[in-house]
């Protein structure tokens, strides 16, 4: 039987242990436990997005994504998001909300490493999922925007988070169906004749 962590054995230890089970495999692994588990499931052909317990997504699901290193050039980040530089207060450990981030801006902050595509606001879709949904709708002529916040560069949890999606304008019934299918059960939802919004706490 091949070790389920054969990738770990080869790249991290230089030895193939041929462990008989996952428990022994994790004991031999030199990797962080969550990273070892992530590799184990990937080697079994199980995507992190598919891991569920009793029909619900596993609480350890976010840890299955590899560590993301954020681009720390916050001046550029802030220019992309806010259109101007931001005066961050080192003592307050500030956050700055935004309410009309465009698809182009979202794509730019992802491409430049200011946003983790795998990150999500609690039970929201991932940032990558927001991007792909908005791109699909833009190809049909519907422009969605995003709300969220940027974290101070002086905080350990420096990042950009997306917590809401907004549409303003006319829309056909099919787009409304696709919107409902995409957002699922957000913490807040607002559906009007010329306005759609979903938001996650």
- Does the residue 171 lie in any domain? yes
- Does the residue 102 lie in any domain? yes
Same domain, 158 and 190: yes
pLDDT class of 42 with cuts at 50, 70, 90:
low
Alpha carbons 144 and 129: distance in angstroms, whole number: 13
Mean pLDDT computed over 105-124: 93
Instruction: Give the pTM.
Output: 0.68
> Integer distance in angstroms from the first to the last C-alpha of the chain?
45
Burial class (CB in 10 A: 0-12, 13-18, 19+), 186: buried
Per the model's pLDDT, the better-predicted residue between 61 and 47 turns out to be 47
Alpha carbons 199 and 162: distance in angstroms, whole number: 9
Domain boundary among 64, 96, 112: 64
Mean pLDDT computed over 6-13: 60
- Sorted by sequence, the CB contacts under 8 Å of residue 34 that are 6+ apart come out as 60, 63, 64
How many independent structural domains does the chain possess?
A: 2
- Does the residue 69 lie in any domain? no
pLDDT class of 2 with cuts at 50, 70, 90:
very low
Per the model's pLDDT, the better-predicted residue between 109 and 46 turns out to be 109
Beta bridge partners of 167: 144, 196
State the residue range of the domain holding 148. Answer: 74-199
Segment of 13-27, 43-57, 61-75, 187-201 carrying the highest mean pLDDT? 187-201
The chain-wide mean pLDDT, for the chain, equals: 83
Same domain, 165 and 96: yes
Helix (H) or strand (E) holding 28: helix 22-28
Characterize the bridge pairing of strands 95-101 and 56-57.
unpaired
- Does the residue 1 lie in any domain? no
């Amino acid at each position: 039987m091949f070790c389920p962590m054969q990738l770990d054995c080869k790249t991290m230890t230089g030895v193939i242990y041929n462990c008989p089970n996952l428990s022994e495999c994790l004991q031999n692994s030199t990797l962080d436990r969550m990273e070892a588990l992530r590799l184990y499931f990937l080697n079994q052909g199980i995507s992190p997005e598919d891991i569920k317990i009793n029909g619900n997504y596993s609480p350890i699901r976010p840890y299955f994504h590899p560590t993301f290193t954020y681009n720390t050039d916050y001046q550029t980040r802030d220019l992309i998001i806010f259109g101007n530089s931001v005066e961050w207060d080192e003592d307050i450990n500030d956050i700055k909300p935004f309410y009309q981030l465009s698809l182009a801006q979202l794509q730019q902050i992802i491409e430049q490493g200011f946003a983790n595509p795998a990150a999500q606001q609690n039970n929201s879709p991932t940032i990558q999922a927001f991007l792909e949904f908005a791109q699909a709708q833009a190809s049909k002529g519907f422009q969605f925007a995003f709300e969220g916040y940027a974290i101070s560069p002086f905080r350990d949890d420096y990042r950009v988070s997306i917590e809401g999606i907004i549409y303003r304008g006319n829309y056909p019934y099919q787009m409304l169906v696709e919107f409902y299918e995409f957002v699922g059960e957000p913490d807040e939802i607002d559906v009007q004749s010329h306005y759609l919004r979903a938001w996650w706490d």
